Amino acid sequence: MKNLLVLFTLVLFFASCENVEDNSPAFQAKVDNVFFESDLISASRFPGQKVEMIGVKDDEKITLSFTYTAENLIPLGGGSGNFATFEDKFGNIYSTNEDAIGEILLTFRTGGNQVLSGNFNFTAVLKGIDTLRINNGVFYKVRNLD
């Protein structure tokens, strides 16, 4: 009986072990309802509080370029000076402009904005040819490089 109790305890102990996967940092979105999860994430800070964040998956790329202020809601396109682009595997670049707009909502930032998390949505246009909708976008704990 004692052996069964020890065996049961050992089985329970090993069965309760799990692999915890840390998805930090992360950058993902839906591009016209197709899931995009980046394999490579980079972020750079430039003078004037300007940030460029890039998520790359295979031959596709999403770029967010924005100036952050004290506000957490950052407009994209529409003459705001902030923009987003999507580059497809054929090298076509869809972009926000005066007609195609979107937004970034910062949900977390450290002092000095070294680490950022947030959500984004935007409509991007390949001028005169096609329009894409990028929604449910999330970036999580992306570190800005100086």
Q: Note the pLDDT tens digit of each residue in 51-106.
A: 899 999 999 999 999 987 788 899 998 888 899 999 999 999 999 977 778 999 98
- List all residues 6 or more positions away from 146 whose beta carbon is below 8 Å from its beta carbon: 45
| Residue 96, domain extent | 24-143
Judge whether 8 lies within some domain. no
State the residue for tokens 């935007």: 122
pLDDT of residue 20: 46
Rounded to two decimals, what is the model's pTM? Answer: 0.79
Task: Give the count of domains, the chain.
Answer: 1
Sign of the torsion angle spanned by Cα atoms 83, 137, 41, 58: negative
Judge whether 118 lies within some domain. yes
Q: Give CA–CA dist 108/62, Å, rounded.
A: 20
